[in-house]
Amino acid sequence: MKIYLVGGAVRDFLLNLPVKDRDWVVVGSTPKELKKNKFKQVGKDFPVFLHPKTFEEYALARTEKKFGFGYTGFSTNYSKNVTLYEDLMRRDLTINAIAQDKNGNFIDPLNGRRDIKLRLLKHVSKAFKEDPLRILRTARFAAQFSHLGFRIEKKTMVFMKSITKTGEISFLTSHRIWNETKKALITNSPHIYFYVLKKCNALSVLFPEIYHLYNIKLNCGNCCNNNLGDYFLYSLSNFSKSNFKLDIRFSFICQFFFYYKNIFSFIKNKKNYSDFQINLVKNMLKRLNVPIYIQNLSLIVSENYFLLHNIFFLSSKDIVILFDRINVWRNPNKVIKIGILSEYCIFFKECNCFLKKYKIRNFFKIVFFILSAVSVKFVIKEGFKGFYIKKELLKLRTLFLDIYRLKVFLVTKT
């Protein structure tokens, strides 16, 4: 039995990046032998075991043969005779097909180290085309290593396009799609993920809501992008430089489904919500099976989109009602996140100048502290009961906010 360190741990070591998870491949062994050595089996489709002390993953060397559709349409052979080379040959990219033995020697039959130096994302073999998940993985690695100068090899991109053409990506489960998307969104360049999917024609299948943005033309004199899709990539790139949390980044993406040519048209009609656009967000959240905490934030900024982006034009009473509806009182952190998302507006020049001047996120914080100062306990202590508690609370909070806004107005005037 021989054990080798493989995959991401070796790759990241060669890139001088922090090694987070270490995966091992076991050659010349059997499930029975590993269990005898107190390894705990966790894989059903093929034997993956947890080390009894480190709890790191140890997988038996295996080969795969395509027999059906999708990423599950493979038969697996993990017999004792499978070699390390055969195991490396089943992997996706050459930079992920490097092994290291116990003495620190590298086993690199596919020239992965060379491709690391060349900053190249290159497929291992023609078998790359057999697994639709590799489209997402390659797009994710492109986003993950974009800041290091990595690019996708031309033939690999041809293979990715051919996978899309077969329609096999429709067999990917929501779990698989979200898992790769989640990893891509927390990279330094999440916009590259969607750019690659667009380039290999997979965006329209996996994220039709985002793909539709490319059909919306822009008429902005100072904007270098011809359509909302390109502007989406540009904006996501800029936004991600200062906002790293997954829920904030994903919620930011959802805002792009609310494009209006003139943001100020909303002032004339406060009920100008689009059920169609809100449903786009809901359908995407459901289809990808996005975690609840991300869904909650995405739906808040979606269902209250125009109110949040036009907060300065609302009356104090409407602001208090808005804060009640999104229920920020027990979660001050939610106020900060909503403020960040509301501050970044996609409506170009006239709106951006306005928002830069007033800083929505700071306004949200101030409003939160002003309204929080009027507590329910205070109203109850004053003798109000039942329905009148809520009514008096709304009245007092509106009054406090009116006083603050009047003072700011007077100071600004002087």
**pLDDT tens-digit series, residues 331-368:** 888 999 999 998 876 554 444 444 444 578 888 999 99
pLDDT bucket at 293, cuts 50 / 70 / 90: very high
The DSSP secondary structure of 197-257, one letter per residue, reads HHHTT-HHHH-HHHHGGGGSB---TT---SBHHHHHHHHHHHHHTT---HHHHHHHHHHGG
Range in 92-96, 227-231, 263-267 with the lowest mean pLDDT: 263-267
What is the per-residue burial (b if ≥16 Cβ within 10 Å, else e) of 50-75? bbeeeeebbbbbbbbeeeeebbebbe
**Between these two residues, 67 and 257, which has the higher pLDDT value?**
257
pLDDT bucket at 71, cuts 50 / 70 / 90: low
**pLDDT tens-digit series, residues 188-235:** 999 999 999 999 999 999 999 999 999 888 766 555 667 889 989 999
Report the pLDDT value the prediction gives residue 20, as an integer from 0 to 100. Answer: 87
Provide the mean pLDDT of the chain: 87
Contacts for 348-355: CB closer than 8 Å, 24+ residues apart: 348/220, 348/222, 348/223, 349/220, 349/221, 349/222, 350/263, 350/264, 351/263, 351/264, 351/309, 354/312
| Distance, CA of 100 to chain centre | 32
